[in-house]
Structures are given as structure tokens and as C-alpha cells.
Homo-oligomer: A and B are copies of this chain.
Amino acid sequence: MGSLKNKEEELEPVVEEAILYVNGIRKVLPDGLAHMTLLEYLRDIGLTGTKLGCGEGGCGACTVMVSHYDKNLKKCMHYAINACLAPLYSVEGMHVITVEGVGNRRHGLHPIQESLAQSHGSQCGFCTPGFIMSMYALLRSCQTPPSEELIEECLAGNLCRCTGYRPIVDAFRVFAKTNDVLYTDSSLSLQGGDSICPSTGKPCSCGSKSLSDRDTNKQSVTCGDRYEPVSYSEVDGSRYTDKELIFPPELLLRKSTYLKLSGFGGLKWYRPLRLQQVLELKMKYSDAKLLVGNTEDDGLEIGSAVKLSELLNFLRRIVKERGVDETYSCKAFIEQLKWFAGTQIKNVASVGGNICTASPISDLNPLWMAAGAKFQIINCKGNIRTVLAENFFLGYRKVDLTQGEILLSVFLPWTRSFEFVKEFKQAHRRDDDIALVNAGMRVHLEEKGEKWVISDASIVYGGVAPLSLSALKTKEFLIGKCWNQELLQDALKILQKDIIIKEDAPGGMVEFRKSLTLSFFFKFFLWVSHQMDGKKSVESIGLSHLSAIQSFHRPPVIGSQDYEVIKHGTAVGSPEVHLSARLQVTGEAEYTDDVPIPPSGLHAALILSRKAHARILSIDDSEAKASPGFAGIFLAKDVPGDNKIGPVVVDEELFATEFVTCVGQVIGVVVGDTHENAKLAARKVHIDYEELPAILSIQDAINAKSFHPNTEKCLGKGNVDLCFQSGQCDKILEGEVQVGGQEHFYLEPNSSLIWTMDCGNEVHMISSTQAPQKHQKYIAHVLDLPMSKVVCKTKRIGGGFGGKETRSAFLAAAASVPSYLLNRPVKITLDRDIDMMITGQRHSFLGKYKVGFTNEGKVLALDLEIYN
């Protein structure tokens, strides 16, 4: 640690200017923005090609590429990340490339963009820039063309609701190394195995040059503060690489700096350079969150700050280098990480962060526990202690770390001979989804005489309890037992009682999850048996069971579409690229939230009911009014026209007056100078409720005979009553079908920008809606204006699927009240969670059926009752 003076210098280092390059342009980051995400920053500086889809790294619409120079590897590293999750300061000293930096119509599209447009890979277009950026980051990271599998893997963090993915994968497959691809454009074809240029996706000779060599040909042109992308317009020849945005020379030379910055609400942002700085900060701010790497003889020492994508790549290398027996744990981690999350998340999430957040549904924690990992914990005095992973998790989101302690590193031991570790996970969707149940399992077998006896075991589940749970009784049972069919049957019985999922456990589907815990063990038994196949006294598993132990492997998706192109000189019947495609792949297409809010514009946030059914007793807005940036609050009493609205029947209130009938019902609207300030103020509106009885399910409603008019639907076919009563039919089948409510999940959340003209004589809006005329009608109604004075425009929407009809008009009507009364532009853009909570869904259904038929299968009578 050196002398005291040195120590002080380390702890209070010189804070340098915080900088960032965006699309080749140097930006100085002012202090005070620690609360801001990279996405907010990018959109604020006018780069609206990067979209806000979900705000939680789930959809990939916000994907950008981040590059930094790795001094150890001596090369530039390129990562796709979710800009919605990245704190702005986390990319300090890096180069961010957005879709605007990849190519545009005026200076030429990038081959990735061109191919996606040509292959009909964009429909609503809202997810499109994110797909471009994931693919772009992959190509810039590869020295040789990537495999098709790698391309699909890099897209796992990107959702598309329109295309069904086939045209997207088709568009990007041309950049893969195999040559048995479906070429959509002959100019984009390439020979298998050729070196592909990361700039163009085409074979060229630049691959041999090091990136930094290529980067020194500076090409970006600045015009004032604006970015002029380099030109890709010449699509042939070897000059491609000169057209790529280079890594900024300043960043090649720059040392990482100590950062000490602040943000709204007293937020502080530190980027310590040394462990001691981290520990001192942790001592000072013990509740602070840490936002973030060695091989030993006994196993792997993995730094807490190692990114999951680094871990994955490292494990893949280790598996190749080391003996098969030693790396069962490594392979289990590789498999689990494959389905863990999108690439964008793995590129920023750290090993330590994933552990310490202690999610009860963590995919990795059961594996750490089962694999016998050890966690190294350090405190501010530098003392290190070691805890077994299986003892680290203490309860819901609670771990064995005291104030001032941090997780320093993880030790993952090599597996011994006849020690097997396996991962399990079941989710709704294979890629990038939360597990229903997951597990990590390990057994160590020892040959004792003629038999293979279990000398050690660990069976750990996730998703079954508030924390990752060891099946301790099962473990106890297993140790010392012989590895055979009898063991399996007995163990399953014990396991059933060992892992109990309560009937009302969060997440539901309890029966299914219970069966998963058992079947995972069954699969583990089969898999271990298969590994031991041929060893004496180990029973071979039947051929019929072999499929159960294979890792899931999805071959690259190939789809084909057959249609006849009838040439008659017009576009009709011909597979034309749609007119917005080139705007969408370049991020140039403007969606509602991309339209700049005029000066003096305000942002709206809704005041929402937190009760399912209640009487509003009082509304206290005093705290909201004192909130920073507050500009106004508007309730039912402030509505200039009629507070009652509806598409056909006027049966709904714009702002609830006396009663609320669902959580998320709109009670009023608050406007503020920023989106964040408006939300903050809206949350500070305190409402006193008198709670009233609520009916929360269809069955409850049927029981209470609480029906909406015209919602009960009965279908009868045949002489129903007679048939069922008279015994005409040989057999009667009856039952129920339940379908849950379904979110439309348009990629673009609801958004409207509303402004007045001539001081409220006219109201204009741009709205993301399927029903501009309903906007006109609703807003004229609530503002008491003639419809001729209300204008709604919709240039395009980022998906609607029926979810942006009446509901978008309702939201715009709420925001029109402050805009009209204050004569200021008001923007309302819903966060994804609010959008899902309040806009309604495709209803849930309960169907009851009764069918009478003959032994021959002829249906004689059908009775169907549908409730929704």
C-alpha cells in the first residue's frame, strides 16, 4: 500500500474531465447526470434512432455498440449493450455507436441495413435499429465471418413482434461463414469460409490488418456539433474499411480515470480504479450498489467484476484447454449462460452483481451452490474471508455480507474424476426468459467394490422458494447410496417432500413446477448414468430415454416462402420492399416519441389508482406541488368539457371522480418539466381510499352473478337440452378452458405529443395510434371543442395489434387537458410497466363446454358458454 501519502493519493485521485465519443464525436459529460441512462442521453442529443421499448433490457430496441480499448488484450473490444440499462457515466471514456453511426440514406446504407431492408426484415420498424446494432456489434467483434449459430445467439436479446424473425435471420445469414445460405441479394453473396470484412459483411483483404491500424484513417466529418456519418455509398472495392467509424485515437491513448460525479436527488457516481478505493467507498456508503478478473490449480478464480460474456468466452476456452473430467462445472455454466439473457445483458452484467442481487430465480446461483463454489469476501480493512456458495444465501434477496464488505471473487473448483455437474432450466421461452424452475446438480461417485457409490452430492433449485434452495434431505439420502434405478425411485419420493412449493407461491403453475423439480432430477439421473455408461454395474439407459439427456440444440432457423411473382408491370403482387424500410433500418424513421418537444413543452405523468375497487375519500396534492419541476395537476373537476367518455357507449370516466374500479385507473394527470419530474410529482399525490369488495377472477364474477351486459356468450348446436337429457348421445364430454389475459406488447409504448394553436383555439397532436379519429373525437369531447378544431396525425406506429385503438385515445385525452389549459405542448409517453398496467389487455376467457356424441364420433349436441 506504500506510504500514507501514497495511500491518500490513491483514495483522492485527480478527477479528470469525463468524456464520451458518440458516433465519432467527442462529448464532454457534465457533472450532475448520474441519474441519467445512456439511452436518455442519446435521445436528448437528438439520436432518436435508438428506441425505448421496455426500459429493462428485455426487448433490445435500445441496443447500441460500445467500444473500448483493452490494454491487456491490446485490442478494441466491441459490445452490444442495452442503452436503457446503462448509466450514462458507465460508458465514460468509451465510444458509443448508434444506428445513426452505422449508415444512412444520404451517405449510403451499411450492408447490414441494406440486407435487412431488402429481405423485408422490418415491419413496424421500432425494433429494427436494435437488430441492426446487435448484428453490427457481432460483425465488428469477429475477425472471420460468424457462424449462423452465433448470429442467432447475438439476436437473442432482441424482440420483434411483427416479422416472426424469419426475414431478419434471412437478412443476416448472408454474413455467416457457411455458403449454403438463401441469398436474398446476389450482391451480398459470399464464399464460405472467406474472411469477412466487419465493415461490410463481404469478403475482403482487410481482415489481416489489426483494428488499430485501420482505425487510424480518420473518416468522420463534423459539422458544428452534429455528426456526419462516413459514406458507405460505394458498395464495391476494398475501400469499405475506410468508411467505418474509427475508434477515436484519443481513447486509444487515454488512461482510465477516477470518476466522482453526481446526479439528481443527491445521487453520487464513483468509478474507483483500485480495490482499496472501492472498499473505502463501501465503508462510506455502505448501502451503495456496486456496478461493475485467474486460473488456479484447484479451479478457477473469477473476479467479481468479470462480465458474464467474458466468463462465457473464458469458460469456452478453458473447456478446450483442460481435461474433460475437470470441466463438468464449466460446461454446465456455459450451457446455462447460453440461455441466461440477451447478449446485451451478458455484455454488461457482472458475475458478482448477478450473485449478490440474490434473485430467487437466479439461473447461476443454484449452479454455484451445486458446483461447490467458494466466495471470497473482503472488507475495508483488507481482511478476506471465504464462504461456501451454499451458505451465502440467507433469505429473500439477503446474502452473507456485512456493511463494508464486498464480494471480491468466486472460486469454482475443477470437477474430480466421476464428479458430474449439470444445469437445468425451464422457461416459457428458450432464449432470454425468466426460468419457471431451474437447478444445479452434482454427484461424486466412487467405486466401492462392485458398485458405484455416491460420496458427495448437491441438488439445488431456483424458482421454488424465496431463495435458491438446497434439497438437503435428498442430499443426505443420496450419500452412500449405490447409483441405480432403485436409488432413482427412492430419491424422487424424498425429493417430492423435500422441495415443497406452496399453493399460493408467486408465479403460479404450482403443479407444473413441482413436476419440473422431479423431472430435472430424473434427467440428471439419466445423464449421469449415460456418462458412466460402460462402467461395470452401471445400468445402461434405454434408447428411448436418450433424448432426455441431450442438451437442447436448435439448428439455425431456416424458413422459406413460396409465392408466384406475376409480372404485370406494377407493384401489385410483386415482393416490393416497403417504402419505410430504408428509413427504419437507418433509424431515420421518426416515431411519436422521437419528435422533438417544442420549447416550453411539458411532460405528463398519470395519477393512478392503487386499489382495485375503492371510494376516493380525499386527494392531497400539496407534496406534489412542491416537487421539483412541477407545472400543474389536473383532476376530474378541471376537465373543460365532459369527463365521461367512451368509444360507443359513454361509460368511462377520463379521470375517476368518486370510485375507482381497477388498479391503474387514471385519477388525474401531473405535468412537469421533465418526464422524471412529472412521474416523481405524480407519485407524491396522496389519495385516501375506502376500500370496497373486489371481484378479481371470472369465476368469482360468475359466483357473484356480476356480469357486464352482453359479455356472457352461449353457443348451442343441436337440440342441446333434449339431447343431453334424453340420453340420445352415447358419450358426453365436458370441461373448462381458461385463457389468461394477454398483453398486446406493441414494441413502442403509447405516446402522444399534444399542443395548442392560437392559444387553444385549435388542438393538434401526433399520436402513436391505430385510431386517430377516436383521438379527435375524445379530445373534442373532453375539451368541449368542435371536432374541426382537433387534429390528430399518425405518421407511423411501432406496433399496435389492436392495443392502440380506444386506449391510446384515452391517454391522449388525459394529456390534452393540461396542454389546453396551460397552452403548452405536453408529451405523454408511458413507461412499459405503466403501459402494461393501465391500458388493458386482450381479455382473459373462461370457456365451459359440453359435447354429446355417438360412439362413432358423431357430435349430436354442443353447448358452449364463454365468459370474458
A753-767 near B? 1/0 per residue, CB < 8 Å: 000011111000000
Are A758 and B590 touching (Cβ within 8 A)?
Answer: yes
**For the complex of A and B, 3 pairs with smallest distance between CB atoms:** A588-B759, A596-B598, A596-B599
Nearest-CB residue, chain B, relative to A629: B224
A105 to B789, CA, bound (A): 15
User: How many chain copies?
Assistant: 2
Interface size class of A (residues with CB under 8 A): 20 to 34
Given the known interface contacts A223-B822, A596-B599, A600-B46, the answer about A104 and B759 at a Cβ–Cβ threshold of 8 Å is yes
Are B632 and A224 touching (Cβ within 8 A)?
Answer: yes
Are B105 and A223 touching (Cβ within 8 A)?
Answer: no
Report if A438 contacts B (CB, 8 A): no
Report if A680 contacts B (CB, 8 A): no
Report if A401 contacts B (CB, 8 A): no
Report if A26 contacts B (CB, 8 A): no
Given the known interface contacts A599-B599, A600-B46, the answer about A223 and B757 at a Cβ–Cβ threshold of 8 Å is no
Nearest-CB distance from A798 to chain B (Å)?
A: 14
Nearest-CB distance from A816 to chain B (Å)?
A: 15
CB-CB under 8 A from A586, the residues of chain B are 759
Report if A71 contacts B (CB, 8 A): no
Nearest-CB residue, chain B, relative to A104: B759
Are A583 and B224 touching (Cβ within 8 A)?
Answer: no
Are A759 and B583 touching (Cβ within 8 A)?
Answer: yes
A-B pairs with beta carbons under 8 Å apart, 7 shown: A105-B759, A224-B630, A224-B631, A583-B761, A589-B758, A596-B598, A598-B599
A106 to B761, CA, bound (A): 10
Are A822 and B590 touching (Cβ within 8 A)?
Answer: no
CB-CB under 8 A from A223, the residues of chain B are 632, 822
CB-CB under 8 A from A106, the residues of chain B are 759-760
Report if A536 contacts B (CB, 8 A): no
Report if A795 contacts B (CB, 8 A): yes
Are A757 and B795 touching (Cβ within 8 A)?
Answer: yes
A119 to B795, CA, bound (A): 42
Given the known interface contacts A46-B600, A223-B632, A596-B598, the answer about A588 and B761 at a Cβ–Cβ threshold of 8 Å is yes
CB-CB under 8 A from A822, the residues of chain B are 223-224, 226
Given the known interface contacts A596-B600, A598-B596, A599-B596, the answer about A105 and B224 at a Cβ–Cβ threshold of 8 Å is no
CB-CB under 8 A from A226, the residues of chain B are 822, 824
Nearest-CB residue, chain B, relative to A584: B758
Nearest-CB distance from A701 to chain B (Å)?
A: 44
CB-CB under 8 A from A583, the residues of chain B are 758-759, 761
Nearest-CB residue, chain B, relative to A49: B759
CB-CB under 8 A from A590, the residues of chain B are 757-759
A628-653 near B? 1/0 per residue, CB < 8 Å: 00111000000000000000000000
Question: Which residues in chain A, 785-826, are within 8 Å of chain B measured between CB atoms?
Answer: 795, 822, 824
